[in-house]
Amino acid sequence: MTNEPEYRPGLEDVIAAKSAISFIDGKRARLEYRGIPVEVLAKESSYEETSWLLLKGTLPTQRQLADFDHDLRQRRKLHYRLKDLLRTMPATGHPMDALQAGVSAMGLFHPSRSVKDPAANWDATLRILASLPSLVAAFARIRRGDEILDPREDLDHAANFYYMTFGHEPTPAVRKVLDASFIVHAEHTMNASTFTARVTGSTLANPYAVISAAVGSLSGPLHGGANEEALAQFEAIGSAANVKPWLDGKLAADPKFKVMGLGHRVYKVKDPRANVVQELAEHVFAETSRPKNYETALELERVAAGIYGPKGVYPNVDFYSGVVYQALGIPTDVFTPIFAVGRAAGWLAHWNEQLVGNRIFRPEQIFTGTVDADYVPLEKRP
C-alpha cells in the first residue's frame, strides 16, 4: 500500500475547483447554467441575459438587464490604436491568434496592477464581453480588405456582431441562430480553456491576460478548434453516400481513428448542445437550403453510432455548429472565434468565482528524470 497520490493523465475525474456556475450530467445529457437547462435558455433567453445569469447567479430583473445591456453597448467600440494593431497583423494568420493578441493588448489600454477592486473588475468584465465580438469582426473584415465598422448601439449583441462582420443586419432567424449559438457555447464547467482561465486568474493576473490565455487554450483542435475540423471532414467525405466507405477506409488504416466532432470527456450520450445546434440548423436551412455537408453529417452520425456508440462516443457541440456557421456565410476560421465570443461569459464568471477565496494553482508532478547529474563543461563535451 502506498500513500503516493494517483497520477491521472488529463486530470480525468480530478476535482480542480468548487463552482456554482454550471452543472453537467453526462449520462442524462443535461447541461444547466445556474440550474436552468441550456435548451430552455437557448429558446427563451438572450446572450445578454444568460451572461448576467452566469456572472451574477440569478436571472436579472428587467431593470438590471436593461442597464447591463446598455453598459455592454457602450463598451463595444475598439480603441483606434487597437484597430491599428489589428491592421498590422498578417491577414493570413488565424483569427484565434488575432483574437488572443487583441484581447491581451486590451490590457495595455486598460492597465491595472490589482484585481482587488470589484468595481474595476466588473468594468473589465463588461469591456471584455462587449469587445470580443468587435475584435473578431474587425479582423474578419481586415482579412477581406474591408474597412472596420463601428458598432451599432441600436443592435443587440448577436445582431451587432453580425453587422460588424458583414456590414448588414441579419434576418431575425439568423440573429436568433447566432444568439442561441452564443448561449450554448457560453459555459461548460471545468473544460480546458475554463481551467486555463482559472489557473491564470489564480495568479491574480489582469483579466485581459486571463481571457487571452483562455482563448489560446480554446484554439486547439481537441477543444474549440474541432468545429473547423469537423466541417473539413464533411467536405473531405463529400456526400452522404461516401460516409461508410470513407469511415471503413479510415478505420482500416487506423483502428483508433478519431472522427472530429464526436466524443466528449463528460458526455457519454449525445451532447445536449448538439441537439440545440441541430434544431437551429433546421431553422437556417428553411431560409437557405439543406447543404450537402449537413446530409453528410447526419449520415456520419448514424453510421458512427453503430461503431462508437458502445464506447459512449456521440456527437458533441462541434459536430453540427460548423455546418450552421457555413450556411450563415461565416468563414471557416471564424468558427472558433465565435465559440470564444460565447464562452467569454463563462470564462469571466469563473474568473470572478476564482477570485473569491483564491488560492494559486500549483499541482504536483511525478519526476521521471535523473537527479544529481554532473555539469560537464562545454569544451569537454563532444
- State the catalytic residues: 264, 318
Residue found under cell 474595476: 120
Q: Distance between CA atoms of 135 and 336, rounded to whole angstroms?
A: 13
Q: Which residues contact 169 (CB under 8 A, 6 or more apart)?
A: 155, 159, 162, 163, 175
Q: How far is the CB of 348 from ligand COA (least distance, A)?
A: 20
Closer to ligand COA by CB, 111 or 306: give it. Answer: 306
Nearest residue to 31 via CA among 277, 338, 229 = 277
Q: How far is the CB of 316 from ligand COA (least distance, A)?
A: 4
Residues contacting ligand COA: total by CB under 6 A: 18
Q: How far is the CB of 307 from ligand COA (least distance, A)?
A: 8
Q: Which residue's beta carbon is nearest to the bound ligand COA?
A: 263
Tell me: does residue 256 bind ligand COA (CB under 6 A): yes
C-beta of residue 365 within 8 angstroms of C-beta of residue 36? no
Q: Distance between CA atoms of 19 and 22, rounded to whole angstroms?
A: 7
Among the listed residues 135, 199, 313, 327, the single contact to ligand COA using CB under 6 A = 313
C-beta of residue 161 within 8 angstroms of C-beta of residue 178? yes
Nearest residue to 236 via CA among 313, 292, 304 = 292
CA 346 vs CA 17, 19, 230, 327, 337: distances in Å: 14, 11, 24, 26, 15
Among the listed residues 181, 200, 278, 316, the single contact to ligand COA using CB under 6 A = 316
Q: How far is the CB of 220 from ligand COA (least distance, A)?
A: 9
Q: How far is the CB of 259 from ligand COA (least distance, A)?
A: 4
Tell me: does residue 10 bind ligand COA (CB under 6 A): yes
Closer to ligand COA by CB, 139 or 182: give it. Answer: 182
Which of 155-163, 238-246, 284-292, 316-324 is the region at the interface with ligand COA (rule: CB under 6 A)?
316-324
Tell me: does residue 261 bind ligand COA (CB under 6 A): yes
Nearest residue to 367 via CA among 4, 1, 3 = 4
> Which residues contact ligand COA (rule: CB under 6 A)?
10, 222, 226, 256, 258-265, 308, 311, 313, 316-318
